[in-house]
Amino acid sequence: MTAYDCDVLVIGAGIVGLSTAYAITRAAPGTRVVVLEKEPGPARHQTGRNSGVIHSGIYYPPGSLKARFALQGSAEMIKFCLDHDIPHEVTGKLIVATDRSELPRLHSLIQRGREHGIPVRELGPAQLATYEPEVSGLAAIHVGTTGIADFGVVARRFAALATDAGARIAYGGEVTTIGRRPGRVAVRTSAGAVFRARTLVNCAGLHCDRIARLAGDAPGMRIVPFRGEYYTLAPARASLVRGLVYPVPDPAFPFLGVHLTRGVDGSVHIGPNAVPALAREGYDWRTVRPAELAGTLAYRGSWHIARRHWRYGTGELHRSLSRRAFTEAVRRLLPAVREDDLRPAPAGVRAQAVLPDGTLADDFLITETPSAVHVLNAPSPAATASLPIGREIAGRALAMLETTG
């Protein structure tokens, strides 16, 4: 058995965990930082399986952590990509109303954008067509500060910068045991290594609640995994979409709906939908982990969600199982799309924090217990805002180090 000592031990090498390690090395050079990751490399789950959109912050309520982090983080992310030659583009995006019932919500977004100081422009159908000739809608808004990036590349750059500054990243070892005593934490991995630290930072994403419980803390929530399934447009049909096109979001459910996003490689992603995953890393219907599924089904919050959102969920399941139904949903925005234009693409799984009463946590949820910082909900725009989020978590961890001497 090999043992390692450090000041801060970060669990999880997604974009938030790596940004945290990078932020610690910048704020407190010489701090001994280790990042543990069970996969053989970084960004293998949520970070590497999303739409790659740099969000402007227009959706998020004033005063929320989401709004604060996104408004600051979007500009920082664009600058970071520029400074480090990472593929990105400031494209702007359209939010499109396809039904009259959506118009009041669209107007509310315009007002919110102006409150945040985000450049927004109202568009009628003719103006919409100048941006996206193939997109259909009654009205739209153009959000000028939205962009796209390769967040997997961003995460790997965070990792390189952190290791250059002295941090260590240990891949291929899943956390199996956590022991704590005042001012000290010891973590054992499946690879047989033991890491001793003064402060633990839990950025384990899909497994963050499990890590919190291993550390002896009650997280007060549970991760309920939702799979988002994507398609790409056939290359010959990619010209149907020029940039980023979103529907008006439904405030009753914390997902943005199926959207159209042209990535940095020029391909057009369509999706995601949102269906229950049968495992925390259940990227298809064939992946079932009985113990994880049983935990989800035994959690009363899951049943509250089912009762509250069964109608929405039934539609999402239908679109998951039927490409024709998925195509019909896309045709509301993009009438010219055909079923045979869609090519299956890798799915993602969202680590949705759910409270016992079935409330879907909609903002960042970061808690502190003696010698531990737990990131229990890091929803979109976590990738966009990873730089300020990393600084926030790093600040909390470093403050703990000071109090423990």
Residue 26: CATH number of its domain:
3.50.50.60
329, part of any domain: yes
pLDDT in tens, 22-76: 999 999 999 999 999 999 999 999 999 988 999 999 999 999 999 999 999 999 9
Per-residue pLDDT tens for 214-240? 999 999 999 999 999 999 999 999 999
* Residue-number span of the structural domain to which 9 is assigned: 2-47+152-221+362-403
Percent of the chain that is helix, strand, coil (3-state, to 5): 35, 30, 35
Regarding beta strands 168-171 and 33-37, do their DSSP bridges make them parallel or antiparallel, or are they unpaired?
parallel
Residue 13 lies in a domain: yes
Mind listing the pLDDT tens digit for each residue in 157-189? 999 999 999 999 999 999 999 999 988 999 999
The pLDDT-based confidence of 311 (bands split at 50, 70, 90) is: confident
Has residue 135 been placed in a domain?
Answer: no
Structure tokens at 262: 């042209």
pLDDT tens figures, 43-58? 999 999 988 999 999 9
Q: Is the pLDDT of residue 320 over 70?
A: yes
The mean pLDDT of 102-106, rounded to a whole number, is 96
Residue 73 lies in a domain: no
* Helix, coil or strand: residue 299: coil
Tell me which residue of 369, 103, 3, 2 sits closest to 214, measured CA to CA. Answer: 369
Boundary of a domain, candidates 322, 337, 354: 354
Cα separation, 282 vs 132, in Å, equals 34
Q: Are 282 and 332 in a shared domain?
A: yes
- φ, ψ at 133 (rounded to 5°): -60, -30
Asked whether residue 202 is assigned to any structural domain, the reply reads: yes
Looking at the DSSP bridge assignments, the partners of residue 61 are: none
Rounded distance, CA 27 to CA 98, Å? 47
One domain for residues 347 and 249? yes
Let me know: does 52 contact 261? Beta carbons within 8 Å: yes
Q: What is the pLDDT of residue 168?
A: 97
Q: How far is residue 283's CA from residue 272's CA, in Å, rounded to a whole number?
A: 12
Tell me which amino acid residue 39 is.
E
The number of distinct structural domains making up the chain is 2
Answer for the pair 330, 336: CB distance below 8 angstroms, yes or no: no
> Residue 348 is part of a domain; what is its CATH number?
3.30.9
